[in-house]
Amino acid sequence: MAGAGTIGWLSKRTGVKIPTIRYYEQVGLLPEAERSEAGQRLYGHDEADRLAFIRHARELGFDLKAIRALLLLQDRPQQTCHEADAIARARLTEVEDRIAKLMALKTELERMVAACAHGSVADCKVIETLAAKNHTHGPLAEG
């Protein structure tokens, strides 16, 4: 294997920790590494590129199932990108949903802070709101 390096080399090159590399190999995202005569895993530039792809996909929040599908598509470059587009659109929808939930959370926290009297804990709206037994995950009731 030309340009082969150990798992340490691969880790330094890609910024992915060694246990994670082993895990990706175990679950089939990375092919099983060749071994040296001493039994060390050996990786080349192709594995480094594949691992960089996986790392970037993880940074974007894709789960392992989606990454596996994207890797399969990458391995068949003549195919249309319809499936890759669908995977990315699904992830975008997840992100948009999370943003909406975070915006609602922000609004609720802003109301709590605005309602705080800056007095004693007995009058603290933050503590009162958090202690409310019937409070669900919706916005605060005006009052």
Q: Report pLDDT digits (tens) over 95-129.
A: 999 999 999 999 988 888 887 767 777 777 777 77
pLDDT in tens, 7-48: 999 999 999 999 999 999 999 999 988 888 888 889 999 999
**Residue indicated by tokens 């792809």:** 53
Domain ranges of the chain: 1-79, 81-138
DSSP letter assigned to residue 41: E
1-79 maps to CATH 3.30.460.40: no
Q: What is residue 125's predicted lDDT score, i.e. its pLDDT?
A: 72
- As a whole number of angstroms, the distance between CA 94 and CA 92 comes to 5
Exposed/middle/buried for 111, CB within 10 Å: 0-12, 13-18, 19+? middle
- Return the structure tokens found at 78: 């003549």
According to DSSP, the residues that pair with 86 across neighbouring strands are none
